[in-house]
Amino acid sequence: MRIFAYDANAGEIEFYREFERDHPDVEVVEFFGYPTIDDFTDTHVDVVSTSGAPFGADLIEAAAKAGCRYVCARSIGYDNIDLEAAARCGMRVSNVTYSPHSVAEYTVMMMLMVLRKIRPMLRRFDAQDFRTDGLEGGELAGRTVGIIGAGNIGATLARCLSGFGCEILATDPYPRPDLDTIVTYVDLDELLRRSDVVTIHMALSEQTRHLIDRDALAQMKPDAILINCARGPMVDTAALVDALAEGRLAGAGLDVVEGEEAFSYRDLPTHIVDDVAFARLRAMPNVVVTSHMAYLTREVVRETVQRGFGHALMFAAGEDVPFEIALPDVAD
């Protein structure tokens, strides 16, 4: 079995080799960038694996001609994969789950970094300006945190925040009884109005795209902060930039942003990222932006490689695959 692994990072390579040692009939070919049509010309591939790399219809059709019949996402999200095109080409698609602690802990870090003004603090320190004027931050203890989406990650985050002494609100279509003692379930509007910190932990869909838009931002407190470690398009970036610039929101911590597929997981030291809203976010001292890496712990990297590739082996063996996204067995 030949697997093309896209948007690979250096930390995954040892686990690719480990998987090959454990499964001698498997060859993993790693690509540190995004797939291109040329990758599938005059070659054979059985499986394509992505983390966040765009895998649209043209690429899927090219991969299918090269023999690919399976796409395994090394991530929870799979909105980067054109499922309709995969179905037409007779491909199966699966995603993975991994330790929710990675994203939950990163989210807490983001909250603290924004509240404690870490970005301007570090900038000043790097310039050998050791004054503390204007760097008074805020405490997480005693604040109301609103969690949009209380699934595995949101629930783990709630448990983390309970130790800080936060009031925790959540909105989710499926309330969890195990959170009854630490979470109060409310609707989205009430969550936005009451929360000092709003954090998103839902899957991206057409229903959740721009969930946080101008109207939603207008409901939030002017001294509140927004955290997004889920998917970029869930927040209307232009609306967020305006709210921050006009002082209608106190800050933001963003591990994901709209349009990040143009630059995430790529080394672009001489490239101009032609995204005005992203440039404005990066320039704001009350905004922390990182490169879609909330999940990135050694434990999770190994899990995603082993589980993602493992699903491809199960498919090849004719076994039922957990977390497989329902698609036709053959093209229509």
Residues with catalytic function: 231, 260, 292
Of 97, 51, 65, 60, nearest to 82 by C-alpha is 60
- Taking residue 206's Cβ as centre, other Cβ atoms within 10 Å add up to 7
Question: What are the residues whose beta carbons fall under 8 Å from the beta carbon of 281, sequence distance 6 or more?
Answer: 237, 240, 241, 244, 252, 254, 257, 287, 289
For residue 114, what are the CA distances in angstroms to 108, 147, 182, 254? 10, 17, 24, 10
Dihedral sign from CA coordinates of 197, 203, 207, 208: positive
Q: Which residue has the tokens 């979470």?
A: 183
Go through the chain and tell me how many residues it has.
Answer: 332
Q: Is 130 helix (H, G, I), strand (E, B) or coil?
A: coil
- Backbone dihedral region for residue 189 (phi beyond 0: left; psi -120 to 50: alpha; all else: beta): alpha
